[in-house]
Amino acid sequence: MELNGVGQSFTGMIEAAMYIGIGLLAGCLIAVTITPLVHDRAVRLTTRRLLAALPQSVTEVHANEDLLRAEFAMLTRRNELAIEQLKNKTASHLVELGKKTDVINRLKAERERLKVEAHELRAQAAALRRQVAAPQRSARTKIHVNLLRRWTPYRISIERSG
């Protein structure tokens, strides 16, 4: 009493599940056989790398220390030279700055001297203007006085007669 469609479908599912299971089992067996080989190779390569990095003897250790000392000495000397160059550059800048400060101070003194001279020249010019203007005033005043003297008797005579 088997139904044709349901029985075949169920059998097909079981068969597919069995194939999947057999494939997984085969994959696991292959992985179990290959894993130790890969692990052993990784251990071997790591061991070689560590042994290559470690010095073989005491002389190699001393040689490495000497190399480090030499590199440190070279770097120290380079830094000393750089510091010396910077000190020389700073000294030259200070000398240049001193020269420029001297020039500035000389120019300030010259400016002050010229200000005083300009003030004196203005005072002299004002005095000369006053001297030039004084004779003109006195000449005008004399002219006005003479005119008043001439005109005043005439005016007085007109007022008396009038």
Q: How high is the mean pLDDT of the chain?
A: 85
Could you tell me if 61 and 55 are in contact, meaning their C-beta atoms sit under 8 angstroms apart?
yes
The residues spanned by each domain of the chain are 20-53
Could you give the percent of the chain with pLDDT greater than 90?
A: 59
59-91: per-residue pLDDT in tens? 888 988 999 999 999 999 999 999 999 999 999
Rounded to the nearest 5 degrees, what angle is found at the Cα of 78, between the Cα atoms of 74 and 83? 145
Cβ atoms within 10 Å of 13's Cβ, excluding its own? 10
Query: In which residue are the tokens 């390569």 written?
Result: 45
Using pLDDT thresholds of 50, 70 and 90, give the confidence band for residue 143: low
Q: Which one is predicted more confidently, 67 or 52?
A: 67
Q: What is the pLDDT of residues 93-104, one digit of tens each?
A: 999 999 999 999
Three-class SS of residue 98? helix
* Of residues 40 and 148, more confidently modeled: 40
Torsion of the alpha carbons at 117, 122, 123 and 126, rounded to the nearest 10: 160
Which pLDDT belongs to residue 1? 44
Contact present, 55 and 64 (Cβ < 8 Å): yes
Mean pLDDT of 125-139: 75
CA separation for the pair 71, 61 (Å, rounded): 16
pLDDT 10s digits, 13-39? 899 999 999 999 999 999 999 999 999
